[in-house]
Structure 1
Amino acid sequence: MDVRSVLRAVPGEAGLLGTPAVRVAVLDGPVDFAHPCFAGADLTRLPTLVPDAAGAGLMSLHGTHVASLLFGQPGSPVAGLVPRCRGFVVPVFRESPDGGVSRVPQLDLARAVEQAVEAGAHVINISGGERSADGRAEAMLERALRRCAEKGVLVVAAVGNDGCDCLQAPAATPSVLAVGATDATGAPLDINNWGPAYRSNGVLAPGRDIEGAAPGGGLASLTGSSFATPAVTGVAALLVAQQIAEGREPDPLAAGRAILASASRAPCAPDDAPRCRRLLGGHLAAARAFDLIREGGSVVPDGVRGEPVSLIGGPPPTTHAEPKGRAIAMDTNAVHAHTGEATEGLSAAAAPPPATPDTAPAPPPQPPALPPLPQTAPATAQAPAAVPEPVPQAPQQVAPPVFQQAAPQAGVQPAAQPTAPPVPQADVPHAPPAAQPAPVPVEQGVRPSCPDCGGTCGGNASGGTSASMGAVANSNGRQFVFAIGTIGFDYRTEARRDSFRQQMPEVFIPATAEHPEQEAAPNVYDPRQLHDYLAKNPWACDKVTWTLNMDSTPIYALEAETPVGMDWTQAIITDRKAPPDTVRSAADKAVSEQGDRLASILETLSYPPVSTVYRTFRDAIVGQIEDRQSPGYVSRVSVPGVLTDRTVRLFSGQVVPVVEVKSRGLYTWNEHIFVEAVMAQLKKDFDRRKVSVDGAQQADPAKTIRAFLDKVYWQFRNLGQTSADRAMNYAGTNAFDVSREMAEGMLAANQVPGANAEHLYSLDTITVSKSPFCRPGSDCQDVVITFFDPENDRRANLSFLFTYDVSDELPVSLAPVHKFIGGF
């Protein structure tokens, strides 16, 4: 089936090719850029944790096929939906050694989403996901999707293909446009996932036997929601191109709402019956979506407005949680041959009347009148640049492979994955609509590849046409990172771990009443023992793989910049005090002090100099296990650096990117000391005003101060790569810089008319936005901290505005702090 068939009812379909002003990102497997269908396409490969070029494996087939449905050039073996749009290829699924299905952590998908947003994508295609009992994405992916909604970027994702009433992240996220697959008659495929969340944010599109590119220059016809997703992504991108052609600002979320509002859904009752829920929100109706966009409006269904994370404009719909105690089967999808049919699910007769070119669907309800979008000066229409059509070749049709069903695993995975070999439809009767496959236990933990999926796939390279793609890799200059977290360490291999175990000195267990002093083998995972060893042997610091952890999950591997100078560090010296009750002459005291100084110097010299970065790492791992009230306690570490194009595989098998850490701005964060500093500011004010504060009253401001730090680390935790995140982290980690304003904010009752000056304000919100005022060539962000009166929410708020320049590896503060009454 030709993917451009979804445009058949759209006037001027042949000329709908997109525009370079619209940027579409594909988060998938590696793409074979040498395939003839990409000759002349404007594609850029963004650097990710998957540096490998496309091969003959399943993930390369998946990625190449999906990309071709969007960017395949006119007159080539595959004509895509948006060949004139600029494309970002963002590989997330790496090939497994056996060529089977790849699974990645949601953290890696979150990284890729942020990269696509930073690159300027308007629409992001994710033909994959991970089963989730309640449809919620993990924290980092949820934050990345929220950032897309805030930036106006439309994310389109597959619903998954377990064939059950179940949800998948990110498709079940309200701000994401979810896509299920249909056959040529419009009947939903039996392998689709379906659930209440998809009724509000999901549509159906053709997804059986979709013809696309295969690595090596060949073609393949594949089936699954993975290949229905590009059809919706392409239509959304064309709607954005239509907005631009009419001289309006691009609004991808309005395009997504138009697709949802125009979807054709035949009457089906009861609405919560499985056969009705399989219809999601209806069938893709591109012609009607274009009508809505051309009418100049932004469709929002009736309901509560103002939820920034909901694509449909109302509150996020209630998700359907699977029964507790039930094992959750992960995504398993199907790749079908031209001669095979799916064996499960609805027949065409049992399905509700579909929307097809031959059968007129029931007319959808008319949307309300659409308010005009903000107008801009009409852009001068330019004819698309002529693209030379490649010499027609006779591409070899690649027969889809025969697969065995794989044991599912946790992790994000492509939404079209191999299942059992297809069986001719005539040999197997249709299952009842409500029938569901037995749940399959989910393996705990995330692995980079699945068990042997069987078969091989890909195109035949013989006789294929190679084509120049131009630049397919883009370093994007130096990607700065300013992240916060805790420091961890990893040995990566058993050999490296054992080498430390053999080199570290044995430890002595003090004698007790039960046993004498004992000698024990070193524990390479004891932070104190590792610290003591590295203090005496600093040349071994780079043999440990240091990591930045968030919630005990490594997000970066850390290596120190090449040091210009070394830090001799302060020796670990015990207190040297004169014996009590001794009377010494001045000369004796002088000699004693000189001896103490000499001993201190000698002990310091016994600790060789070390890089400031590595000293901070080795001190942090000990500080993180100290008592929270101790001055040496380390709750967080700020890590400034540059993201490299290298990755490392940790002992657990997790692959993380490498950050070159800079010594400037590498700070440890002691929450207790910060709280004490702000409390000291408050006490000065209380003393000045002669206000008596008891212990209970002192606890409230301490909670407010900790709430600020908790918001930065927990509510706004991030990878520290985007400009806004680096500014947020700098404000939080270097909280001593804002301690005076924190104290002043809590004392806002002294400055807001009518407020009770005897009680304290509380922290309300922290926001980050691009600053309208900045130095030339800089990247400036405004961080606004707002306080409110907890006793009277009608009282005016007090806000503080901090402006940070994040154009260098170490953010810097600009101008004085601005204070104003009210929110921002």
Structure 2
Amino acid sequence: MDVRSVLRAVPGEAGLLGTPAVRVAVLDGPVDFAHPCFAGADLARLPTLVADAAGAGLMSLHGTHVASLLFGQPGSPVAGLVPRCQGLVVPVFRESPDGGVARVPQLDLARAVEQAVEAGAHVINISGGERSADGRAEAMLERALRRCAENGVLVVAAVGNDGCDCLQAPAATPSVLAVGATDATGAPLDINNWGPAYRSNGVLAPGRGIEGAAPGGGLASLTGSSFATPAVTGVAALLVAQQIAEGREPDPLAAGRAILASASRPPCAPDDAPRCRRLLGGHLTAARAFDLIREGGSVVPDGVRGEPVITIGGPSSPPPTHAEPKGRAIVMDTNAVHAHTGESAEGLSAAAAPPPAAPDTAPATPPQAPALPPLPQTAPTAAQTPAPTQPVAPPQVQAPSPAPPSWPATAAQAPQQVAPPAFQQPVPQAGVQPTAQADSLTAQPAPPAPAEQGVRPSCPDCGGTCGGRSGGGTTANMGAVANGEARQLIFAIGTIGFDYRTEARRDSFRQQMPVEFRPATGETPEQEVQPNVYDPRQVHAYLAKNPWACDKLTWTLNMDATPIYALEAESPVGMDWTRPIITDRAATADAVRVNATAAVNDNTAQLAEIVDTLSYPPVSTVYRTLRDAIVGQILKQEDPAYVSRVSVPGVLTDRTVRLFSGQVVPVVEVKSRGLYTWNEHAFVRSVVDALRHMDSIDQAEAHLVMTIRNFLDKIYWQYRNLGQSSADRAMNFAGTNAFEVGKEIVAAMAAQDVPGRGTNKSEPDRPYALDSIRATKSPFCRPGSDCQDVVMTFFDPENDRRAKRSILFTYDVSDELPVSLAPPHHFIGGF
């Protein structure tokens, strides 16, 4: 099937090729840029964790095929939907060593989504996902998707191909446009996933036997929701191009709403029956979507439905960010194609049917399109489902195909791995398309979650050999292009970890580390302790005396115990020669005895420790900070040397490393300026001490501590991020800088200038609490800078009628270490 068939009945279909003003990002496997269909295409590959060129593997086939459905040039072997649009190729699915499907963490998908947004994408295509019990993405991916909605970027994702009543992230996210596949007659494929979330944000598009490019210059016909997704992505991009052609601002989210509102869904009852839920929100009807966009007004005509319309990514309150429990995600089973039991054709009258064959031109009066349903917090009921405006004949449902062989299970690794895209075994183009047969559908339980975890392509069977015509050609790879020559800066907050990457490296450290002797006590004799390469204290002691081994260890920045970056020190500068290298230990001990404080006295053990510390050889300040942090993190909060957080400024390189667990993370070159460690407990104590002197604040210390803890939790947990985007770097610096501007936070929490505060002396006012933090591009900025306004808003938790209090910080994040541009500004009310 030709992917451009979805444009039938759209006036001027032959001239709908897109415009360079629209950017479409494809998050998929490697793409063979040397394929003839891409000759003349405007494509750029963004640097990601997948640096390999396209080859003959399954992920290269998947990525090349999906990209060709969008960017294949007119007159070439594959004519794509948007050949004139700018294409951003963002590889996320790497080839598996065994030639199978390689899953990737949702964290990696979140990185790629953020990169696409930073590169100016209008529409993002994700032909893959990970099974989730409740359909929710993990915290980082959820944040990236929310950022897309806030920035007006439309994300289109596949529903998956397990053939079950189950949800997949990111497709089940309300702000995402989910896509299922149909056969040539419009009947939903048996392998489609369905679920209550997809009723509100999903559409069906052709996905059986879709003709596209294969690496090496060949062609293939592939089946699955992976290949229905580009059809919807392409239509959305063309709708954005139409907006631009009419002189309007591009609004990808409006394009998504138009696609949902114009979807053709026949009557089906009861609405929550499996055969009805398989219809998702209806069939893609491009002609109607273009009519709605060309009207230039409301996406939903007045009088179509009486219910309120909530837009994709609209101003509804976003769900709170949450930390996903590890090991909880359920992965979509790529090979689980469930055969449905046969029943009589009776009862199919309410089942779905494909929309009638479209004429060559659009009807003079297009049928009214249904309104975009509201984004549900729970599954919609039949009573909530509006009646469609046009009855359509019942559909023919495709006969089930035999289940492909199972993939070998692999042990789950941390972090959770997302499965690659799913697509059915390629169908040779010379073959005959299977004939659709009527078959009643019964409810099928969701198949058990496979052992593998992670995002994968949405393909029901990634095994086998690609069918279809093959041709000559070589595999090539376009060089990474992202924002010209600009460096990708990082300012992230987390904790420090270390990794050995291989067993050989780990064993070499074990053999080099000295045996530890624990002194005798009154109850136990002296003990000999063998080296423990995972004990931060022993590792610290070894590196302190052998600093040349610091770069042999792989340092990581962790978030929720998950490594997000590998850390390397900047080029050898900033070496720490603050104390001389000690050669005469006896003389030094004598000097220490003379000058020691009363706390040291003549304690031999303490003297030896001081001498050892003074005799440490010099080391880069970066490695010294990382080395000391791993010990500080395991101390008690009351200890002055306790480390609760570390801020890491640096530059994201184009290199990656594979950790011992198998996880691949990008390498950051850490800069010494702005590399801070801090004690959260000490900060709380300092703020409490400052608040004690304010008469209008309740003196209950426990309440003060709780309020400040809630403030810090919001900064370091609810708003945690990768520190890649300008807004996130500014927000992270505000969280770090909070320790330097404590008096501003104290003033905001006291809110003494808010009317009504402090008037009732019999009931002292309690501190304000942090309500929200947001970062936006500053309207005032010096030339050549990247300025962000960070607004912290505080509210009275005991009286919501009282005015809020806001602080505005302006930061320039154009350098590795952000800098404050002006003193903080205080406002009564929101900002």
The TM-score bracket by the shorter chain reads 0.7 to 0.9
Question: Using the alignment, how far apart are the partners of 1:88 and 1:727 within structure 2?
Answer: 26
Q: Secondary structure at the match of 1:554?
A: strand
Give secondary structure in 1 for the equivalent of 2:525.
coil
For residue 705 of structure 1, the aligned residue among 702, 708, 718 is 708
The alpha-carbon distance between structure 1 residues 814 and 305, as it changes in their structure 2 partners (threshold 3 A), is farther
CA-CA distance at 1:347 after TM superposition: 11
| 2:333 equivalent to 1:331 | yes
Q: Answer yes or no: is 1:816 the counterpart of 2:823.
A: yes
Equivalences for residues 135-214 of structure 1 within 5 A: 135-214=135-214
Cα 1:459/1:265, change in 2 over 3 Å: closer
Q: Deviations over 1:545-603 (max 9, x none)?
A: 00000000000000000132311367999xx999xxx9x9x9xx9xx99x999999965
Distance 1:35 1:368, change over 3 A: closer
Unaligned runs of 5+ in 1: 318-324, 336-341, 370-401
> Within 5 A, what are the aligned runs for 1:418-817?
418=424, 432-434=440-442, 436=444, 439-443=447-451, 454-457=463-466, 463-464=472-473, 476-512=485-521, 515-568=524-577, 603-686=612-695, 693-694=698-699, 697-748=700-751, 750-756=752-758, 758-759=764-765, 760-817=767-824
The residue that corresponds to 1:73 in the other structure is: 73
* 2:63 corresponds to: 63
Is residue 2:412 matched to residue 1:412?
Answer: no
**SS of the counterpart of 1:799?**
strand
In structure 2, do the counterparts of structure 1 residues 329 and 550 end up closer, same or farther at CA, with 3 Å as the change threshold?
closer
**CA deviation map 1:316-358 (0-9, x unaligned):** 99xxxxxxx99956231699xxxxxx97689997552211426
Q: Which moved more, 1:429-438 or 1:292-301?
A: 429-438
- The CA distance in 1 between the partners of 2:664 and 2:331, in whole Å, is 25
Which structure 2 residues correspond to residues 304-453 of structure 1 after superposition, within 5 A? 310-311=312-313, 330-332=332-334, 350=348, 351-357=351-357, 365-366=368-369, 404-407=405-408, 411-418=417-424, 432-434=440-442, 436=444, 439-443=447-451
Deviation at 1:470, TM superposition (A): 8.6
Instruction: Give the CA deviation at 1:471.
Output: 7.4
Give % identity.
76
Following superposition, the deviation at residue 102 of structure 1 comes to 1.7
Whether 1:273 and 2:282 are equivalent positions in the alignment is no
Q: Which stretch has the larger CA shift, 441-450 or 623-632?
A: 441-450
SS of residue paired to 2:739: helix
* TM-score when normalising by structure 1: 0.85
CA distance in 1, matches of 2:455, 2:15: 45
For the residues of structure 2 that align with 1:346 and 1:355, how far apart are their CA atoms? 25
Deviation at 1:737, TM superposition (A): 2.3
Q: 1:524 to 1:129 in 2, by over 3 A?
A: same
Kindly provide the CA deviation profile for residues 175-204 of structure 1, in whole angstroms up to 9, marking residues without a partner as x: 000000000000000000000000000000
- Given the two structures, how large is their TM-score scaled by the length of structure 2? 0.84
| Cα gap change, 1:95 to 1:567, in 2 (>3 Å) | same
Do the aligned partners of 1:787 and 1:799 also contact (CA within 8 Å) in 2?
yes
Checking the alignment, whether the CA contact within 8 Å between 1:38 and 1:467 is kept in structure 2 is: no
Mean alpha-carbon deviation: is it higher for 724-733 or for 356-365? 356-365
User: 2 CA distance for matches of 1:326 and 1:567?
Assistant: 45
- Between stretches 771-780 and 760-769, larger displacement belongs to 760-769
Contact 2:162 2:336 (8 Å CA) reproduced = no
Q: Which residue is equivalent to 1:386?
A: none
Residue 699 (structure 1) shift: 2.3
1:704–1:437 Cα change, 3 Å: closer
Residue 534 of structure 2 aligns to a residue in which SS? Answer: coil
Cα distance in 2 for residues equivalent to 1:272 and 1:261: 20
Task: Give the aligned residue type for 1:539.
Answer: W
What's 1:289 paired with? Answer: 289
Contact 1:61 1:458 (8 Å CA) reproduced: no
Pair 1:452–1:100, CA change in 2 (3 A): farther
Per-residue CA deviations over 1:38-82 (Å, capped at 9, x if unaligned) read: 000000000000000100010000000000000000010000000
Deviation at 1:424, TM superposition (A): 9.7
Residues 364-394 of structure 1: CA deviation (Å, up to 9, x unaligned): 655679xxxxxxxxxxxxxxxxxxxxxxxxx
Contact 1:101 1:417 in 2 (8 A): no
Deviation string 1:661-686 (CA, Å, 9 cap, x unpaired) is 00000000211111122222222334
1:299 aligns to what?
299
Does the 8 Å CA contact 1:160/1:333 hold for their aligned counterparts?
no
Give the CA deviation at 1:454: 4.8
Match of 1:292, SS state, is: helix
Alpha-carbon deviation of 1:631?
1.2
Q: Secondary structure at the match of 1:443?
A: coil
Moved more, 716-725 or 790-799: 790-799
Are 2:98 and 1:98 equivalent residues in the alignment? Answer: yes
Distance in 2 between residues matched to 1:534 and 1:452, nearest whole Å: 49
State how far apart, in whole Å, the 2-side matches of 1:441 and 1:762 are: 41
In the TM superposition, residue 709 of structure 1 has moved relative to its aligned partner by 1.8
Question: What's the counterpart of residue 320 of structure 1?
Answer: none
TM-superposed deviation, 1:792: 2.0
Q: Kindly state the Cα deviation for residue 511 of structure 1 after the two structures are TM-superposed.
A: 3.0
How far has the Cα of 1:642 moved from its partner?
A: 0.2
Q: Are residues 12 and 810 of structure 1, via their aligned partners in 2, closer, same or farther at CA, if it must alter by over 3 Å?
A: same
Shift of 1:414: 3.4
Q: What is the DSSP-based 3-state SS (H/G/I as helix, E as strand, rest coil) of the residue aligned with 1:116?
A: helix
1:347/1:107 Cα in 2 relative to 1: closer, same or farther (>3 Å)? Answer: farther
Matched positions, count = 759
Q: Distance in 1 between matches of 2:105 and 2:606?
A: 54
Q: Amino acid of the residue matched to residue 58 of structure 1? A: L
* Larger deviation, residues 92-101 vs 245-254: 92-101
Q: CA offsets per residue over residues 461-519 of structure 1, 9 Å max, x none?
A: 75348999797677652100000000000001111111111111111234355542121
1:814/1:187 Cα in 2 relative to 1: closer, same or farther (>3 Å)?
same
- Whole-Å Cα distance in 2 between the matches of residues 487 and 570 of structure 1? 25
Looking at structure 1, the residues matched to 318 and 650 of structure 2 have their Cα atoms a distance apart, in angstroms, of 37
Per-residue deviation, residues 758-803 of structure 1 (Å, max 9, x unmatched): 3122222111111000010100000111112223211111111000
Q: Distance in 2 between matches of 1:161 and 1:448?
A: 11
* Aligned-partner Cα distance in 2 for 1:65–1:250: 27
Give the whole-Å Cα distance in 2 for the aligned partners of 1:327 and 1:143. Answer: 17
How far did residue 708 of structure 1 move? 2.3
Contact map agreement 2:155 2:177 (CA 8 A) in 1: yes
State the distance in 2 between where 1:801 and 1:312 align: 25
Letter in 2 for 1:755: R
Residue type of the partner of 1:665?
G
The gaps in structure 2 that reach 5 residues or longer are 320-326, 373-402, 411-415
SS at match of 2:539: helix
